[in-house]
Copies of this chain bind each other. A is one copy, B any other.
């Protein structure tokens, strides 16, 4: 030992600060998500995963194959099977055979599914706008930029880890 060192080196403080930031990011995200889930449940008797599937199909009016759907939503294949099953039961989507490939099928919104989604999507935007009402346009830009930095880094770490 040459010299007594400061008790908490700068890098350790920064490390703890980043850890607290991650906990805050997680909490904020979960709170907002919980808020939206709750309103979807009580006001539309539906769930976020169902809403997400409808949103993906709304953006693709030709329909999407199951694998395209799970790719777009970044969830597992088997997961989508169950959610689409329930949406079919409720008449919001249909499965359509793909001509020329008997393995695949397209999932498409029905008229009912489309109109239900449009109603919910408009309200959803209002909810989000209310929750983020404390942020100006500049705040949004700053927050967006910082989150992108983190997300790029998380994606890179995941691919290094072989996901």
Using Cβ atoms and an 8 Å threshold, which residues of chain B touch A35?
154, 157-158, 161
A97 at the B interface (CB under 8 A): no
Q: CB within 8 A of A150: which of B20, B135, B155?
A: B135
> Which candidate, A26-34, A85-93, A104-112, is the interface stretch facing chain B?
A26-34
Tell me the complex Cα distance, A150–B77, Å: 33
**How many monomers of this chain does the complex have?**
2
Residues of A38-57 contacting chain B, CB below 8 A = 38-39, 42
| Complex contact A154–B131 (CB within 8 A) | yes
Q: How far is the CA of A32 from the CA of B150 in the complex (A)?
A: 8
Cα distance, A29 to B27, chains bound together (Å): 9
- Check if A96 is an interface residue, CB within 8 A of chain B: no
Q: When A28-B151, A135-B149 are in contact, do A144 and B18 touch as well, CB less than 8 Å?
A: no
